[in-house]
Amino acid sequence: MSENLKILFMSSEVHPLAKTGGLADVSMALPKALHRLGHDVRIAMPCYRSIDRSKFEMEYVTDFPLKINNFTHNCIIRKTGIKCSPGKKRAKASQSLPIYLIDSYEYFDRDDLYSNEAGDYVDNARRFGYFCRAALEMLQKIDFEPDVIHLNDWQTAITALLTKRVYGDERIFKNAATVFTIHNLQYQGVFDMQSLVDLDLTWQYYSPEYLEYYGKINLMKAGLIFSDVINTVSETYASEIQSGALGMGLEGLLSTKKSDLYAITNGIDYDEWNPETDPNLAENYCAKTYMQKKPACKRDLQKACGLPEKDVPLIGMVSRLADQKGLDIIERAMPELMKLDVQFVLLGTGEQRYIEMLYHFLKLYPEKCSFYLKFDAFVASKIYAGSDFFLMPSKFEPCGTSQLISLKYGTIPIVRATGGLADTISGFDARTQQGNGFSFTDYNETALLKCIEHALVIYQNRQMWNVLVKNAMQCDYSWEAAARKYVDLYAKAMAKHSIKF
């Protein structure tokens, strides 16, 4: 599609304003890439208290009354912008990507995005229902008529229903196609049936063909049922979620939507993740200079972690501490792994039981492992650059970005072949010298250890190892290619939408 599109990109988190996971990274990088291609992209997100006002200058745009379930809110719209490096079609255009922030003291003036120490906020359905309605009402106030409304995960999913059934008679929404992206099907926005009232929806939607879900309501279903097209973030994950194992209770619905389900593998933002320019590294390097300069990054990481500065294989990991990320098989593999001549460094936050597990192993193997149990972007860069291997033994992984970053940094991924990991990491073949990493299939500690041991054999052969590292660093997972695929997906959504209307 050659024409420039008007796109409203809705997300509950956008890096660097607010982030809990990979959704925030995609929600900045993809709109930036679309902007560089010449499209008019506007991001809408909640105006959380946690956004650093000293870093992001916010201007007042407008305010208006918003009535939901017989209660009138004063909705305030603010605006900030993120500078973008120019693309070929944006050479003379503004390089600021606009972000509209939906404010509400009642719903977003809180310490965290979705939860606190007691668990998820009990009014999350109301909070994000308000966000979705406010974003749609905002369009008329800012005089922006999108060709496409791009929705992301359950927090924005109800928008698809609203555009079709609540605002459907209004011209601005008759012409707007909807695209719904599943970033992680595990999180579906399941709430008590009474939340229908909070969302100001009629009881007709409390039925299996709409939002009803085992006696509750499921907001993810709104995105799946009412969007013009659906996509997920890797080919393998799109296939996996149509089965019982990873369908998370929605495999039946997803199977019926198969003709509208597409897959586009995520990219990474090389403006942010690039060993040639990363300011956090002891030495910057590229595919031509890594042999001379990457060892300095390894020594720097070992020193920062309090590990002996030895020339032994160093395995790194940056991850949430959760079952999904394979922490349970790491726990079972750890005693045997520590018998090998390796070091292990991990950065992550998450479940308390895994925090306690890591403290236990740190006491047992203080000379061989080091753990940072809070997220720190500075340390993350050092792990990506200073490690020899990057470990991702995920139980499931919709796409994953860490393996893509590690490729760019010449740090070889060891992954379980699932979802996006299966699509982006191909096992190194010593005979053909093709491949960019190592992978295993069975989800158990035996398969993990066998894969690591095989990787260590290749590591000892410096000629093959150098070929493998160059293979990895030459992989291109920039967002530009993915953005062009999204433009094609938008065209499909618009074509389908025009038929309906």
Contacts of 343 (CB under 8 A, 6+ apart): 302, 307, 308, 310, 312, 313, 314, 315, 368, 369, 370
Q: What is the DSSP letter of 169?
A: T
Write down the residue that tokens 């294989």 correspond to. Answer: 313
Residue 33 CB-density burial (10 A; 0-12 exposed, 13-18 middle, 19+ buried): buried
7 in helix, strand or coil? strand
Q: Which residues pair with 151 in a beta bridge?
A: 180
Are the CB atoms for 9 and 490 separated by under 8 Å? no
CA angle 328, 330, 334 (to 5 degrees): 130
* CA proximity to 338, closest of 319, 306, 360: 360
Residues annotated within the binding site for ADP-alpha-D-glucose are 19
Residues annotated within the binding site are 19
Q: Which amino acid is at 83?
A: K
Tell me what percent of the chain is helix, strand and coil, each rounded to the nearest 5.
40, 20, 40
Q: Is the dihedral of CA 441, 447, 453, 454 positive or negative?
A: negative
* CA proximity to 400, closest of 467, 325, 303: 325
Q: Which amino acid is at 485?
A: K
CA 268, CA 245: separation in Å to the nearest integer?
Answer: 28
**Token pair in block for residue 148:** 């496409």
CA 35, CA 44: separation in Å to the nearest integer?
Answer: 15
Phi and psi of 276, rounded to 5°? -75, -25
Are the CB atoms for 50 and 111 separated by under 8 Å? yes
CB count in 10 Å sphere of residue 18: 23
CA 115, CA 117: separation in Å to the nearest integer?
Answer: 7
Are the CB atoms for 338 and 369 separated by under 8 Å? yes
3-state SS, 344-383, equals: EEEECCECHHHHHHHHHHHHHCCCCEEEECCCCHHHHHHH
CA 379, CA 230: separation in Å to the nearest integer?
Answer: 36
Phi and psi of 222, rounded to 5°? -60, -40
> What is the separation of C-alpha 319 from the centre of its chain, rounded to a whole number of angstroms?
12
